[in-house]
Amino acid sequence: MFQSLNLCLILFLFFSIISISSAIFIVSSKNLFYAAISLAFLGVSIAVLIALISFQYSLYSVFHLLLYVGATVVFLSISLVMFKGLEVRQINIAWAPIVAGVSAVLIFIAVVLSLSGVQVSQVGEINLQTLSSIILEKYWFPAVVLVVGLLTTLIEAITLARRD
């Protein structure tokens, strides 16, 4: 039974559990800052799930990481701390470093095992004009989603800066 499980299925199950538990924590959390941090975990796990669908969707996954984890979570965290005056209380859990260490070792082993069969190919010269034409021709939709999301974040930042 366990021999039929491959790495993609294990990663899918692992990040599905992380995304579901992060979403539950976001909804049930009383502290908005911790909900924003949990939103980062949700964004990373969803990006990994998008990347696991197919190699062609990896660019969507990168845009998802840039937009939600990079921009939205950082913007939300900074605005919560600056404008709401939230006090973040640190809770020390004795078993948390052990769980984090074991998780890090397991993830490292999974990455090393998954990359052991990958053959390295020669990378050609990258031309920015060619790269931009490829993005605009093949991946126009994620580029539009990224631009709209970043514009929305910019409008929110201007609104908060004006304090309207």
pLDDT at residue 57, as a whole number? 77
Neighbour tally for 68: CB within 10 Å:
18
Residues 80, 10 within the same domain: yes
pTM here?
A: 0.53
Residues 16, 81 within the same domain: yes
**Domain annotation covers residue 114:** no
* pLDDT band (50, 70, 90) for residue 2: very low
Select from 25, 56, 86 the last residue of a domain: 86
Residues 12, 77 within the same domain: yes
**Domain annotation covers residue 110:** no
Select from 37, 65, 86 the last residue of a domain: 86
Which domain covers residue 7, as residue numbers?
Answer: 1-86
Instruction: Tell me if 91 sits within 8 A of 44, measured CB to CB.
Output: no
Residues 78, 153 within the same domain: no
**Domain annotation covers residue 122:** no
pLDDT at residue 81, as a whole number? 67
**Domain annotation covers residue 92:** no
Instruction: Tell me if 10 sits within 8 A of 48, measured CB to CB.
Output: no
Residue-wise pLDDT for 23-60, tens only, equals 888 888 877 778 878 888 888 998 888 888 877 777 78
Number of structural domains found in the chain = 2
Two tokens, residue 53: 């669908």
Residues 76, 142 within the same domain: no
The CA distance from 126 to 92, in Å, is 47
pLDDT surpassing 80 at residue 137: yes
Residue-wise pLDDT for 100-126, tens only, equals 889 888 988 887 777 777 676 776 777
pLDDT surpassing 60 at residue 164: no
